[in-house]
Chains A and B, each alone.
Chain A
Amino acid sequence: MNNGHGERRRGRTRRIAYVMGAYFLICTLALIWPVAGLANRIEPVVFGMPFFFFWHVLWVFMVFVGCLVTYLWEYAGEDE
């Protein structure tokens, strides 16, 4: 691996860290006050669940998607 390649690789690693770090920070903030305060309500009911309940179900999914994207991005172009 020559130096230019290594440089590019490190830059990419850092970019992933910033973008996904920001994403997961949003996920965390969504589940604590003050942001969670906006979701602390019964209406609208989604899939039969009160909104605050649904809010938690939603962010579980968002974290899952975030992890999946990070993984695919980190190992993109690498063979198993």
Chain B
Amino acid sequence: MVPDWVIVSGITFSYLLFVLYVGLRARTRETGSTLEQYVAHGRSLGLFILFFIMGAEIFSAFAFLGGPGWAYSQGAPGLYIIGYLALGLLPWWVIGPKTARLGKKYGYLTQAELISDRFKSKALSAIIALVSIGAFVPYLTIQITGAGFLFEAATEGNIPFWLGGFVAFLIVTIYVVASGLRGIGWTAVIQGMLMVIVAWVIGIAITREFYGGVGEMFGRIAAEAPEYLTIPGHEGAMSPVAFSTAVLVSALGFIMWPHLFNKAYGANSEKTIKKTIIIYPLYGYLLVPLMFVGFAGVLIFRDEPLANPDSVLLELVMMSGISPWLVGVLLSGALAAAMSTGANLAHTAASIVVRDIYVRLFDPPASATLERRLVWLTRVFVVLISLTSFVLALFNPATLVALLLGAYGAIVQLLPLVVALFFWRRATTAGAYAGLISGTLVMLYYSFLAPPLFDIHAGILGLMVNTALLVGVSLATRPMEKEHVDRFVEDSKVPLQKIERRASRPAGAG
């Protein structure tokens, strides 16, 4: 008789090989000739692929581990994730097409290129790039940790943590290096579909197995532990102010993640960007069954709380005695979430290093040789960044989560700059620096050194100071040339299809 864990890992490895095959097959002859092809996929991603790339990137290991873990340990506060998923992409309706327009017109490939060109500062580009990398590496580390953890739990420890994490991310690195954004697109399509199916299968199966249904489960929680079902949640986990500002900061900061800008530069039409936004809130429905699973854990583990709440989904799956074949498929789905997010993170982080630090600061002359060298450099950095994250995952310090939250709060601080870029001609370089730096410091202070004022999320506190200083300092300094700022406000109003691509793109300047 074959042991269960062999069946589980057999199915999972077949799945991983399949993803590798699809990722490599996406490679075409043009891939690798220019950085633009490799990074922004020649600006021609279709809706189908784009939608799954975005979904794959948003649903990470967190959806399968942290999300249910939060619902299990705190209850209703976990719902804030659904709230911000619904709202998060809305500002992109305005900002996304504008970003794509300026990208097409001036050849931007990253968020930092756009911002630093508007505020005429190369140093700003490097600062933004460093903040982004600082946000990406811990995020990628969490994906690798998730993958290793999933393997270890599902194979009852027969595949150790380090090996599971290593194999999953070796495959990711291979197809990202070989195929760029296109490799990500086709694998994301498969992984996105698998995630949706797996989430609902788990959600329904677990609630039925332990309670006889969703309604029965909530009925019992309402009778035995009603505090889990409303704010502030279990043991006053989250006050109304904390809940509301957490929804706000995530909804506002969501569109500031640099990989979103990369995808806008890759989109082939404004309609494609908007269609993605339409379907996007529905991704929230992927999280609904996973929340059910978290709530299922509330009563089951009431007497013996789990040491690590994030393992609630895995514990329940193993306890429910479902067939190892199904566990293999479930593991593949959860791994898909970790891997597809990881692929995007590694890819975006590498293109940021090359474009925003190397090209921006050293300004090499444009040529065909340089383009080839940049593509190679991007590949090298995909490998380096994945390796760094893997090493960090081995140490798995708990502080990583704190690091990620800090980095997220920092990403949010870019919002005033981006809004000013498109709408406020009067914003100046000094204002941009004052806002970004003060906002980040305030956010860091209230994240790590002092309890947040009135329970308001530290990111929101930073954002208020940031905006005030951006406006104040800009008004106190000399306006930038009208011709320069008009370029951003006016040119971003011209629809994408009316914009002529620049024939040749200078490597450094925009």
Contacts and interface: CB of A to CB of B under 8 A. Distances in A.
Please report whether the interface of chain A is mostly helix, strand, loop or mixed according to DSSP: helix
B281 A56 contact: no
B285 interface: yes
A61 B247 CA distance: 17
Interface string B212-234: 01111011011000100111000
Given A57-B288, A63-B86, A71-B274, A36 B244 contact: yes
Given A48-B214, A53-B76, A60-B284, 20 more contacts: A27-B86, A27-B90, A33-B241, A36-B240, A40-B240, A47-B215, A49-B215, A50-B218, A50-B230, A52-B230, A53-B218, A56-B82, A57-B82, A60-B85, A64-B278, A64-B279, A67-B274, A68-B278, A71-B274, A74-B274
Which of A24, A28, A53, A71 gathers the greatest number of chain B CB atoms within 10 Å?
A53
A60 B85 CA distance: 8
Contact of B282 (A45, A50, A52, A60): A60
Contact of A53 (B79, B85, B241, B271): B79
Which interface class (under 10, 10 to 19, 20 to 34, 35 or more) fits B? 35 or more
A24 B278 CA distance: 13
Given A36-B244, A37-B240, A64-B278, A45 B218 contact: yes
Given A24-B90, A31-B87, A32-B244, A60 B214 contact: no
Interface string B88-118: 0010010000000000000000000000000
B86 A71 contact: no
A75 interface: yes
Contacts of A59: 83, 86
B214 A49 contact: yes
B218 A52 contact: no
Contacts of A67: 90, 93, 274, 277-278, 280-281
Interface in B235-279: 240-241, 243-244, 247-248, 251, 271, 274-275, 277-279
Contacts of B214: 48-49
Contacts of B241: 33
Which of B218, B222, B275 gathers the greatest number of chain A CB atoms within 10 Å?
B218
Contacts of A70: 93, 274
A28 B281 CA distance: 13
A71 B278 contact: yes
Interface string A18-54: 0000001001100111001100111001011110110
